[in-house]
Amino acid sequence: MSKTAKIVILFIVVIAIGWGIGKYTSAPSASEEEGTVVSDGSALQGQPDASAEPSPVASVNPDEQDQGTSGNNTGAEGSTADPEENASENTAPNPTTVATNKPGTPDSGNNAAELTAAEPESMSVMVNKQYKLPDKYKPSDLVYPNVRFLFSEKIEKRMMRRTAAGALEEMFAGAKKDGIQLAGVSAYRSEKTQTRLFNNYVDRDGEEKARTYSAVPGHSEHQTGLAIDISGSDGKCAAESCFAGTPEADWLASHAAEYGFIIRYPEGKESITGYKYEPWHVRYVGKEIAASIAEKGITLEEYFDAVPVSN
């Protein structure tokens, strides 16, 4: 083979080798063709990094979690949901809800906070501005006492608990023997009714004043079925301040304890009971407790050492 032919063959070999190397280095890898690896990370936008710490702004807002779960969020148009009603179900239980150390009475030493009566069925249950009844509580033994009322209909406010109703019948009979004609004005009152009444009073007089003579829903003694407002049979001054000093009011003050009732909001005790003097509002507590309270001239709060109450 001539020298010229050898040079030509060598030249061809060099070109062939160079072409092969160039093709190999320019070919994309399998992963690049599938598009799963991109150096600038743009294909991962919107995908969480499992190794990274969660961002605070990415966590779920508890308020947003509760939206739509509470029936209170779908109220009237333009209404704002109460934040307490939107509380998470994981919220710690109210620390002020306690059991009592006596049947129907408060734990001593827990007088600062709102408490729930542990034994609402007790005849001596404490219900005032500090102690409330369980939500939607309704006595299980409501009856219609056989006494005169200022109305004839058998409606809610004519009812009382059975034991209290029996004592009321005896008291009305005792008053009649003494020439005093009593009449019932308002006895049992449901939480729903109390809510309506209280809201009406707030609209009329403002909340601060309303609280001096009307109970916040859940805190009314009328809801226990053990309390009743009483007037004379003519209905004059029924549940009004002018009832004080009437023969009926004087008789109740002197004799109610004999039948297990007390004047629940006596004169001069407003700073203790939290309410104005109401000579017409009597509450059944049983003869023993009533006698002790009448003898000492104290209130139910003082009897159970539950002073002071909240405003």
Residue of 191, 221, 248, 278 marked catalytic: 278
* Residue 278 falls in the annotated catalytic set: yes
Nearest-CA neighbor of 279 among 265, 300, 296, 293?
A: 265
SS3 185: strand
Nearest-CA neighbor of 213 among 264, 283, 274, 131?
A: 274
Question: In Å, what is the CA distance from 164 to each residue of 135, 180, 188, 247, 304?
Answer: 22, 20, 11, 23, 20
* Strand residue runs (E) in 200-308: 227-232, 261-265, 278-284
What whole-number distance in Å separates Cα of residue 100 and Cα of residue 121? 13
Burial class (CB in 10 A: 0-12, 13-18, 19+), 171: buried
What whole-number distance in Å separates Cα of residue 182 and Cα of residue 230? 7
Residues annotated catalytic, as ranges = 278
